[in-house]
Amino acid sequence: MDKIFLNDLSIDTIIGIYDWERQTQQTLTFDLEMDWDIQPAAATEDISKTLDYGAIAQTIVAFVKASEYQLIETLAEDLSAMLLAQYPIPKLKLTLSKPVALHGQNTARIVIERPRG
Ligand SMILES: Nc1nc2c(c(=O)[nH]1)N=C([C@H](O)[C@@H](O)CO)CN2
């Protein structure tokens, strides 16, 4: 199966379990990998025959900016479900990265793969 990627999408939002995190936006970064057969679009140059990564990016930005989750797990799960509901993506892999200060500057990251239905 071919893949369409949307990488390094950074979005400021409220996220986290601590009091200070409920007051201050943090920057999350998203990487999305979507299964898709690109041949019909490649043969016709018809955007309607493919996944419009620009439209998908706008959908992700709007969803994440409006969200106020505590756990990155919940955000990743709900975001994946919303994308599968709005777009005919057969299967997606979502990577969500959050900067954290544990021992110096670190990055917490989760990766989920979800098929349609
Ligand atoms: N598995 C998780 N562990 C933690 C989370 C999380 O969302 N999932 N969140 C926090 C805090 O919000 C932390 O990111 C603050 O820096 C701690 N552990």
Range 37-62 average pLDDT: 98
Q: Residue 116's pLDDT band (boundaries 50, 70, 90)?
A: very high
60-77 tens-digit pLDDT: 999 999 999 999 999 999
Residue 57 C-alpha from the chain's centroid: 8
Q: What is the pLDDT of residue 72?
A: 98
Ligand 1 atom showing the smallest separation from residue 100 Cα: 16
Task: Write out the CATH class of domain 3-115.
Answer: alpha beta
**What distance in angstroms lies between residue 10's CA and the mean position of ligand 1's atoms?**
18
d(CA 73, ligand 1 centre) in Å: 9
Distance CA 16, CA 69 (A): 7
Position in ligand 1 atom list of the atom nearest CA 72: 7
pLDDT at position 117 over 90: no
